[in-house]
Amino acid sequence: MEFNIIIIGAGPGGYETAVAAAKKGLSVAIVEKSDLGGTCLNCGCIPTKCLCHTAEVLELVKESTSHGISTNDVQFDIQNAIERKNQVVSQLQSGIDALMKIPGITLYRGEAQLVDTWDYQGPEHNHCNWFHNQIPAH
């Protein structure tokens, strides 16, 4: 396969670049060795914001007594909070997965290795993909 551009890593830097390049008519290969969304979606921005929001809700509930709201039996289940966080992450991963299916983008699952400046060894080690530009987005 031959591509105009190859992007290593489908974090925010990688997938946004892939979409922008494809919209300009370039053929794009993007390679991801782990979960779509990179650090931000899987263990950075999104999970932390989900869990912080849960903590804010808990604080609000605890404060609600001073507003005349009875909250005698408040229970907090960390497993439920983590499950909610996982659902949010999973939903956003699906969104990125859909983005990676737009025309012009080919997603490869696996670890990319740069063999030399213009030669890329893909996840399947028995083939090479030729390309004209590379963006290591990792």
Ligand X SMILES: Cc1cc2nc3c(=O)[nH]c(=O)nc-3n(C[C@H](O)[C@H](O)[C@H](O)COP(=O)(O)OP(=O)(O)OC[C@H]3O[C@@H](n4cnc5c(N)ncnc54)[C@H](O)[C@@H]3O)c2cc1C
Q: Is 111 in the site for ligand X (CB under 6 A)?
A: yes
Count, residues in the chain: 138
Contact code string over 24-63 relative to ligand X, x by CB under 6 A = -------xxxx---xxx---xx--x---------------
3-class SS at 70? coil
Sequence-ordered alpha helix ranges (H) in the chain: 12-23, 38-42, 45-63, 78-99
Quote the DSSP letter at residue 47.
Answer: H
In the structure encoding, which two tokens stand for residue 71, read together? 């909250």
Site for ligand X in 6-25 (CB under 6 A): 8-14
Least separation, in Å, of the C-beta of 112 and ligand X? Answer: 4
Terminal alpha carbon distance of the chain: 23
**122 contacts ligand X (rule: CB under 6 A):** no
The answer to whether 138 contacts ligand X (rule: CB under 6 A) is: yes
| Choice between 13 and 104, CB closer to ligand X | 13
State the minimum distance, in angstroms, from the CB of residue 131 to ligand X.
14
* Inter-residue contact 121 to 128 (CB < 8 Å): yes
Q: Which two tokens stand for residue 115?
A: 């063999």
Residues contacting ligand X: total by CB under 6 A: 21
Give contact residues for ligand X (rule: CB under 6 A).
Answer: 8-14, 31-34, 38-40, 44-45, 48, 111-112, 137-138
